[in-house]
Structure 1
Amino acid sequence: MNKTELVSALAEKSGVTKADAERVLSAFTETVTEQMKKGEKVQLIGFGTFEAPMSAARTSRNPRSGETIDVPAKRKPKFSAGKPLKEAVL
């Protein structure tokens, strides 16, 4: 399912226009992104948790040349499914 199909499904299930559904979906993704940038969790009970924990800085090696490279710390986006979602998908 792509974004257009998701917007259509949301509009149909909620009884709103596709334009309204797209605005809500865009607002949701922007809000989740902003919170993850700040290091905050977005927890939707029964669905899951969006977060972006900080990975530690580390030293790595270029496999081709053998040269060591310093990899800076960075945020890595992560989604953990909640128990009801996991059970529904099984």
Structure 2
Amino acid sequence: MHDPSRRGAMTKAHLIEKVTEKATTLSRRDAEKVVNCIFDSIRDALKKGEKTEIRGFGSFRLRIRRTKDGRNPKTGETVAVPEKRMPFFKAGKEIKELLNSD
């Protein structure tokens, strides 16, 4: 089923295709290895609690959501919501300026 909210979304396959177009000396297979390596490196750093900063683009880091009390919506009963490690992306200055320029 077509999801209209995803129209124009850059998928991993699209990204690999863009790398292949820009780096004409790379095969599609090699471009896929490069993209996978970048994603794997960011994911591995996050798993270790490390920040990944890509100058001119932005940074990926973890945010820790502390333990809190929540409510079961069906019963209204208070339940403990455990601490969670959440990935967070902060856009760099150049990206923010690009998106807000006329």
- TM-score greater than 0.5 by the shorter chain: yes
Specify the code of the residue in structure 2 equivalent to 1:82. Answer: G
Matched, 1:6 2:15: yes
Which residue is 1:29 aligned to?
Answer: 39
Give the aligned length.
90
Q: Percent identity?
A: 39
The alpha-carbon deviation at position 78 of structure 1 amounts to 0.8
| Structure 2 segments unaligned to the other structure (5+ residues) | 1-9
The alpha-carbon deviation at position 31 of structure 1 amounts to 1.0
Calculate the TM-score normalised by the size of structure 1.
Answer: 0.92
The alpha-carbon deviation at position 57 of structure 1 amounts to 0.8
The alpha-carbon deviation at position 12 of structure 1 amounts to 1.0
| Structure 1 segments unaligned to the other structure (5+ residues) | none
- 1:51-71, Cα deviation, whole Å (9 max, x unpaired): 112111111111221111111
Which residue is 2:72 aligned to?
Answer: 62
Higher relative contact order (CA 8 A, sep 6+): 1
Which residue is 1:48 aligned to?
Answer: 58
Which residue is 2:7 aligned to?
Answer: none
Q: Give me the whole-angstrom Cα distance separating, in 2, the residues matched to 1:66 and 1:50.
A: 36
The alpha-carbon deviation at position 41 of structure 1 amounts to 0.6
Over the residues paired in the alignment, what is the CA RMSD in angstroms?
1.0
